[in-house]
Amino acid sequence: MSVDQDIPNKKEFELFIAAPMSALGNDEAYAIGRKNILELIDRLSGVHGLDPVYYAGATISGQAAFTGETTALRRDLEALRNSRLFVLVYPSKIVTSALVEVGYALALRLPCLLLVRDKDDLPYLLNQVEASEPSELLPPLRIRVFHEIDSAAQEIAAFRRDLVQKEINNV
Amino acid sequence: MSDEGGKEGMWSSLVAILKSFGLGGALILIGFGIVMLAIFKGPDFKPESAQPAVLWIGLGAGGLAIVIGLILLRLGPSINSTGIKRVSRYDVYIAAPMAGFGNDDEGRRTAVDLVRCIEGALLRLPDVRNVYTPVAARSQSAQYETPGTAFDTELTALRSAKRYLLVLPGALPAGTSVLVTAGIAIALKLPCAILAHKDLALPYLLDGAVQSRAVQLRQHRYTDAENIEKLFANNGLRLFGSE
């Protein structure tokens, strides 16, 4: 697994993964959510060659280890600006800062993949956005339902492959 | 052949300049060019008696082009942090989670009433003329013309807003769109303010954004609509940070 653990600087990330963290409420739920994302990163790196990946929870083993809101914000926004692709893993309908990161990524026009268990869990605005064509304002965006880590990894790899193909066709 | 090549080269250079600097920038460059020509080539003009006139006409025409260019640049759209040209159309964009004020019709009415009260308080400020809010524009989500329009409409409104105001109730509803618009506003580097109910715990990153100096986001706590009106009356646009 190759997860960048230090504060990201000039380095470019293949992928930024946003997922609920503090919103999960307790250590047990956080540990399960984190384990799933780390497995996903392993699969992306090992099977699909997607590397390096930024995931804020990679260095935070438990909720007591949260570094502080200001530092977290600075790291995340800097990593977002240095990523090629944005992926939201949104396993259930909850209040989470990951949705703030989606907005940030969309405004930066990062290609976005939203992985959900149920499309209706997404905020109304995001639920509708897939119907819009990519434009000067809107980056490529895809919403996919996932059930297991393996299918999530495949969706991410397919999204990236399609983006690369589109870039090649446009050259 | 070489003439045609020269003309093509000049034309493509002009197009490149227009693309890079816009009409205003191109006029400024052309103006400087004319002024330079008048100063350095004017004294070579034949007959000599016409030289002062050539100089003054050149300086006048160049100066005029520079002035018009500067005016066009000033009136033109600004380019924001995401590299897209932005025309300021709204003084404030107000976001509020409709479901957060109650899932029934009464909750929806409460949200609309509160936002209208804030809109009124803003419009009483001397520097505020236009306020946009999806809450008042479309008090029900089904009122977006087509499913794909909602996001485009909000993104366009956000990109043409000068400030972003987020009004949050005592508890945030799960999966609310306002967190997404807040992220967009932060990325656009809009001066942002959160009016948060006194009982609300902000999501982790928004809390960080309030504390961070890298993001222009101020937080103000309220108890009721009257309290909000007082906040605006006493502080005006300073609620958004330095004005």
Residue extents of the structural domains in chain B: 2-76, 85-240
Q: What is the rounded distance in angstroms from the CA atom of residue B17 to the CA atom of residue B195?
A: 45
Using one digit for the tens of pLDDT, what is the confidence trace for B148-191? 677 888 888 999 999 999 999 988 889 899 999 999 999 999 99
pLDDT attached to residue A3: 43
Domains in chain A (CATH in brackets) are 15-170 (3.40.50.450)
Closest Cα partner for A143 from A120, A109, A166? Answer: A120
pLDDT attached to residue B49: 81
CA distance B193 to chain A (A): 15
Q: What is the rounded distance in angstroms from the CA atom of residue A155 to the CA atom of residue A162?
A: 10
Q: Does B212 touch chain A (CB under 8 A)?
A: yes
Using one digit for the tens of pLDDT, what is the confidence trace for A69-105? 788 888 899 999 999 999 999 999 999 999 999 999 9
When the candidates are 3.20.20.70, 3.40.50.450, 3.40.50.150, 2.30.36.70, the CATH number that belongs to B85-240 is: 3.40.50.450
Using one digit for the tens of pLDDT, what is the confidence trace for B94-131? 999 877 676 677 777 888 889 999 999 999 998 899 99
> What is the pTM (predicted TM-score) of this model?
0.76
Q: How many CB atoms lie within 10 A of CB B115?
A: 24
Q: What is the rounded distance in angstroms from the CA atom of residue B167 to the CA atom of residue A48?
A: 43
Using one digit for the tens of pLDDT, what is the confidence trace for B190-241? 999 999 999 998 988 888 888 888 889 999 999 988 899 999 999 999 999 8
Give chain A positions within 8 Å (CB) of B182.
Answer: 100, 103
Give me the residues of A, 59-78, that contact B with CB < 8 A. Answer: 66, 68-74, 76-77
Q: Does A168 touch chain B (CB under 8 A)?
A: no
Residue A54 zone, left/alpha/beta (φ > 0; ψ -120 to 50; rest): beta
The stretches in chain A having pLDDT less than 50 are 1-9
